[in-house]
Amino acid sequence: MEITINEKKIFSRQSSSFRLRSPSLNALRLQRIFDLFDKNSDGFITVEELSQALSRLGLDADISDLKPTIESYIKPDETGLRFEDFAALHKTLDESFFAGDCECDGSPESDLEEAFKVFDQDGDGFISAVELQNVLKKLGLPEAGEIEQVEKMIVSVDSNHDGRVDFFEFKNMMQTVIVPSS
Amino acid at position 69, single letter: T
Element at 126 (helix H, strand E) = strand 126-127
Quote the CA–CA distance of 74 and 125 in Å, as a whole number.
41
Which domains are present in the chain? Answer: 23-97 (1.10.238.10), 108-178 (1.10.238.10)
Q: What is the C-alpha separation between 172 and 174, in angstroms, rounded?
A: 5
pLDDT tens per residue, range 64-92: 878 888 889 999 999 999 999 988 888 77
In this predicted model, what pLDDT tens digit does every residue of 12-66 receive, in sequence order? 333 344 444 445 455 777 788 888 889 899 999 998 888 888 777 767 677 887 8
Closest by Cα among 50, 40, 99 to 74: 50
| pLDDT tens string 56-68 | 776 767 788 788 8
The pTM assigned to this predicted structure is 0.48
